Amino acid sequence: MAMEELKYVIYIGAQPEDVWNVFVTPEGTKAIFFGCILQSTFEVGAPYAYIGPGSEGEETVHVYGKVLAFEPNRLMSYTEHPGPSYRENHAELETRVTMTLETVGGSTKLTLVNDQWPDNHPSYANTKESWPMILSNVKSYVETGKTLDLGW
């Protein structure tokens, strides 16, 4: 089965720098990505990994890949693989995530595209449901300083 790109657009009542920091600082990523921190030098071609509590302890690799583009406060793109504890064939399951931030009045337009899905990717349906929750959590956290209670 062919997989369509997942695209989400959300408007956040904050400046791009505030939204950006949620995606790249340990405090921000812990709040919105289930207690994980993002480890990377953020140079194009560099590896990255979201690491945090999980099935393999406090240092579980949840998602990993390679940085494709990184322009602070504007653009981040990377390949994405599920962590080894999620899928035995994790190395074959590569998608791409691209996040762009644009100023719209006194707000930020966040566009997230998750594409290049291999046929029959086993995480597609779950990812399709997870992105709206994560992005809603980003909006809430940036605007109020609190995350949503989503039962996680």
Mode of pairing for the β-strands spanning 107-115 and 57-71 = unpaired
pLDDT digits (tens, 9 = 90+) for 23-73: 999 999 999 988 899 999 999 999 999 999 988 888 999 999 999 999 999
Give residue-wise pLDDT tens across range 102-149. 999 999 999 999 999 998 899 999 999 999 999 999 999 999 999 998
- How many Cα atoms occupy the beta-carbon half-sphere of 64 within 13 Å? 18
Q: Which amino acid is at 26?
A: P
CATH homologous superfamily of 6-144: START domain (3.30.530.20)
Q: Mean pLDDT across the chain, nearest whole number?
A: 94
Taking residues 74-88, report their average pLDDT.
94
Domain ranges in the chain are: 6-144
CA distances from 19 to 46, 109, 111, 139, 152 (A): 22, 10, 12, 8, 22
Residue 77 CB partners (closer than 8 Å, separation 6+): 67, 68, 69, 70, 96, 97, 98, 99
- pLDDT bin (cut points 50, 70, 90) of residue 152 is low
